[in-house]
Amino acid sequence: MRSPMSAQERHFWGNLEKRIRTEWAVATVLLMALTAALSYFSSNVGLIHIEHTFYDQALALDTGAPDDDHDIIIIAIDDDSLEHYGYWPWRRALHARLLDHLHEAKVVGIDIVFNDTNPAYPEDDSVLAQAIAHHGRVVLPTHVSNDRSEIIMPLPELAAAAKNLGYINAFPSSDGVVRGLRAVQTLSNGASHHYFLAAMLAAAGNYDAYSHFTAYGETPLLIPYSGPPGRFNMVPYTKVMDGLVPAATFRGKYVLIGSWGTGLGDAFPTPVSRDGEAMSGVEIMANSLLSALRDRWIQSPSSWQLALLSCLPVLLSCLVIPRLSPRRSLIMTLGTLLSVMLIALGLLHYVLVWMPVTPSLIGVALAYPIWNWRSQETALQTIDEELVALNEQRQSLYRSDSHIIKGERNNSLPTRISQLHNAISQLRDAQQKREETLRFLSHDMRSPQNSILALTQLQRNTSTSIPVNQLLDRIDQYANRTLVLVDGFVQFARADAARMARDPLNLSELLTQCADYFWAIAQHQHIEIVEDDSPGDAWILGDSAMLARTFSNLLDNALKYSPPNTTITWSVIEAKDSWTVRIQDQGRGMRQDQLKSLFVPFSRLEGDAPDNPAGAGLGLAFVKTVIHRHGGSIRVESAKGEGSTFIVNLPAFRT
């Protein structure tokens, strides 16, 4: 069963949890602010290039051929046509003849700029103008100047003959890829002009599509490309001119005329291009026209909306991570990153909304390491504070620096936790010792005093009184027992709390002095204390008084539990980096189960036995404490009826 937490533990964990919550709340706010800033200023910090890459890959995942019955046909000025009619530019009279084959088309958009006169055939401009006017539904392109200060018109004669005009500029992204367009372009002088598609829709009489398209105004529209180049119905220019394509093929169709030949005209990379293959401007126009007819564009929320939406995954991660284990937090973080990308793909393909994901991915990816960093740092700071407080409590408890908790020169979390665990363990030991002391004072110390009080009460009653000499003898016995208990308790307390000296001393000489002290007592009990081949010098660093009392306790115990006519043998043996002291008797010995509690304070083996020597059960506890505080160890080898051997190891001091 788990023991309840102490007040120190409750204070520590409560303080740590509060500080971590506060730290993480601040970190969450900063992460969301960073994510919002990255989203809002993505083009300024270089993230737009990452977004473009992800968008292009996402769009290319789900492209297919346009519907078989769509209403768009491209008449391509391809390589075969160039070979047939010669070098570009062709005579404009040739384009006039082409229009004669397209009278059944709903509208014809010519993606060729006619803004200058061909000096070799100046009369061709009038011929083309007449053909355009005769057709009645031809749209000619205009061109926005590079500085966007003016619109470059076709020749006035051609412009007047055309049904409508519209600009055809493609405005690639910073990486040169054409991803979208604007239905309306406002020049620097404030004049607004419609895109070429709007002019075609109006010329075709499709005013619903026209109104929907122009309603977008200058909102950026991303083109949902149908697929890589070559996915639209396309007929060569020369085949139309040769009558190989029936005029009925163009009935009710939106016809686009533009270049497709190698090295001819404008071509741009698109999100669906394969291996760097460019798409001709006329096919980009066809993709755009298809989107306008379906009113199907990919749009993005505004900058501030994107900033807010980008923060949602980050906020979710920040709320969940502190409630999970590190392993589950990592799994959750990876799952969130994958979910953000899948949601972006789903919105793109099913809702036609593009959500840039890079700011969210950065925010979510940062949340996990920042949580681990700040929680660990906060834990370390709290542990440091708790260690200082515990050291102060320890010093005030023992009034010495002998048990101050020393931290290693290691700032890692495991080391700090180990230090804190040791500190709490020491406080638990102190609490346990306090309880043992209270038990000692309430039982062992009170027992002889109660006996003295009982004797005095009996002595006051003449019928129960005993002779004075007998009374005094018993009082002396109980008083001496009290003194023994007090002396044992004081010595044990000193061994546990007092500062130990570290002076060089000769262990062999110390053992000899202790053995000489007990020589008379041993002779009286017919017991011999013998030294067994010990070296002349066995130097250690220690407190001579404490160690003398320690080995005296061991010799005294050997005398108490040894019968007459036996031998107690002591020896000092040199080991690699230590000295081993062996004190062996031929007394009653102990069972193996008794050895477990041999050094426990206030514990006495067979304390109720009539022939057991009196004591408080602190002698061997004192011995173990002193040995451990000198960096040594003690163990016992014993068997019932075969005597006991106490083996002490102490670090050697090499001069």
329 in Cβ contact with 365 (< 8 Å): no
Residue 174 reports pLDDT greater than 90? no
What average pLDDT score do residues 287-297 get? Answer: 91
Q: Residues 487, 536: one domain?
A: no
Query: Is 367 part of any domain?
Result: no
Query: Is 565 part of any domain?
Result: yes
Residue 401 reports pLDDT greater than 70? no
Q: Residues 467, 521: one domain?
A: no
- Helices 446-460 and 468-497 pack at an angle, to 10 degrees, of 160
The pLDDT assigned to 374 comes to 80
Q: What is the pLDDT of residues 120-147, one digit of tens each?
A: 888 999 999 999 999 999 999 999 988 8
Please identify, among 269, 294, 319, the residue that sits at the C-terminal boundary of a domain.
Answer: 294
Q: How far apart are CA 395 and CA 388, in angstroms?
A: 11
Q: What is the number of structural domains in the chain?
A: 3
Candidate ranges 65-69, 130-134, 230-234; pick with highest mean pLDDT: 130-134
Q: Sorting pLDDT into bands at 50, 70 and 90, what band is 310?
A: very high
Residue 613 reports pLDDT greater than 60? no
User: What CATH number is attached to the domain comprising 545?
Assistant: 3.30.565.10
Q: Residues 226, 288: one domain?
A: yes
Residues 6 or more apart in contact with residue 552 via CB below 8 angstroms: 514, 517, 518
- For the chain, give the mean pLDDT: 82
Query: Is 250 part of any domain?
Result: yes
Please give the full DSSP string across 431-472, using - where no structure is assigned.
Answer: HHHHHHHHHIIIIITHHHHHHHHHHHHHHHSTTT---HHHHH
Q: Residues 264, 234: one domain?
A: yes
Beta partners for residue 371, in sequence order:
none
Please give the full DSSP string across 389-410, using - where no structure is assigned.
Answer: HHHHHHHHHHSSSTT--PPPS-
- Which of 635, 614, 612, 515 has the alpha carbon at shortest distance from 568? 515
Q: Residues 489, 619: one domain?
A: no
Query: Is 401 part of any domain?
Result: no
What average pLDDT score do residues 553-570 get? Answer: 90
What average pLDDT score do residues 91-115 get? Answer: 92
| Of 609 and 292, more confident | 292
What average pLDDT score do residues 445-467 get? Answer: 74
Q: Residues 527, 571: one domain?
A: yes
Structural domain harbouring 93: 65-294
Q: What is the pLDDT of residues 487-545, one digit of tens each?
A: 666 666 666 666 778 889 999 899 999 999 889 888 989 999 998 877 778 899 998 88
Please identify, among 294, 314, 331, the residue that sits at the C-terminal boundary of a domain.
Answer: 294
Query: Is 440 part of any domain?
Result: no
Q: Residues 145, 221: one domain?
A: yes
3-state secondary structure of 386: helix
Which helix (H) or strand (E) element contains residue 220? none
Q: Residues 91, 198: one domain?
A: yes
Q: Residues 173, 261: one domain?
A: yes
- Which of 72, 76, 74, 73 has the alpha carbon at shortest distance from 294? 72
Q: Residues 555, 484: one domain?
A: no
Q: What is the pLDDT of residues 243-286, one digit of tens each?
A: 899 989 999 999 999 988 666 667 888 888 877 678 888 999 99
Q: How far apart are CA 233 and CA 203, in angstroms?
A: 21
Both ends of the chain: CA-CA distance in Å?
51
Q: Residues 249, 133: one domain?
A: yes
Q: What is the pTM of this model?
A: 0.60
Query: Is 458 part of any domain?
Result: yes
Q: Sorting pLDDT into bands at 50, 70 and 90, what band is 23?
A: confident
* Phi, psi (rounded to 5 degrees) for 599: -100, 10
Please identify, among 294, 312, 336, the residue that sits at the C-terminal boundary of a domain.
Answer: 294
CA dihedral (240, 241, 244, 249) positive or negative: positive
Q: How far apart are CA 459 and CA 466, in angstroms?
A: 7
Residue 336 reports pLDDT greater than 80? yes
- Whether residue 563 is preceded by a cis peptide bond, meaning omega within 30 degrees of 0, is no
Q: Residues 585, 478: one domain?
A: no
The pLDDT assigned to 1 comes to 41
Tokens encoding 362: 């950065």
CB atoms closer than 10 angstroms to residue 99: 21
Q: Percent of the chain having pLDDT more than 90?
A: 36
Query: Is 215 part of any domain?
Result: yes
What average pLDDT score do residues 555-577 get? Answer: 89
Query: Is 528 part of any domain?
Result: yes
What average pLDDT score do residues 594-617 get? Answer: 62
